[in-house]
Amino acid sequence: QVQLQESGPGLVKPSQTLSLTCTVSGGSISSGGYYWSWIRQHPGKGLEWIGYIYYSGSTYYNPSLKSRVTISVDTSKNQFSLKLSSVTAADTAVYYCASLGPELLADYWGQGTLVTVSS
């Protein structure tokens, strides 16, 4: 069974870059067949897809965040990462990583990590 675990700072200052890593176990990112995605949830709100990446490096970003988002993959470490630049308080959220099957279904999720943007 695939397991995902987010890691990274829980507090980021405004205007800085939020950086998170998702470590995948129980399966290989480079085996193909899955996309690897980031999703966030503002406190008490709904779910927002940030973007996703294939092991080859092909990326797909939410148009509303595209100018600030970079998702990358490190197959040697079986990890993928999120960078969100120029953050504001509006980026405070729980960030989830998830595996995305070929039919764009998020079937395995990390537990989520709360990132607070504050000075």
Partner 1 sequence: DIQMTQSPSSVSASVGDRVTITCRASQGISSWLAWYQQKPGKAPKLLIYAASSLQSGVPSRFSGSGSGTDFTLTISSLQPEDFATYYCQQANSFPLFGPGTKVDIK
Nearest residue to 82 via CA among 40, 29, 42, 117: 40
Q: Closer CB to partner 1, residue 10 or residue 119?
A: 10
**Do residues 104 and 34 make contact, with C-beta atoms less than 8 angstroms apart?**
no
Stretch that binds partner 1, among 24-32, 43-51, 70-78, 85-93 (CB under 8 A): 43-51
d(CA 97, CA 17): 18
Tell me, residue by residue from 48 to 87, as one string, x for binding to partner 1 by CB under 8 A and - for no binding: xx--x-------x-xx------------------------
Helix (H, G, I), strand (E, B) or coil at 26: coil
| Residue 61 beta carbon to partner 1: minimum distance, rounded to whole angstroms | 8
Q: Any residues with CB less than 8 A from the CB of 9 and at least 6 apart, and which?
A: 18, 19, 115
Site for partner 1 in 86-105 (CB under 8 A): 96, 98, 100, 103-105
- What is the binding site for partner 1 (CB under 8 A)? 37, 46-49, 52, 60, 62-63, 96, 98, 100, 103-107, 109-112
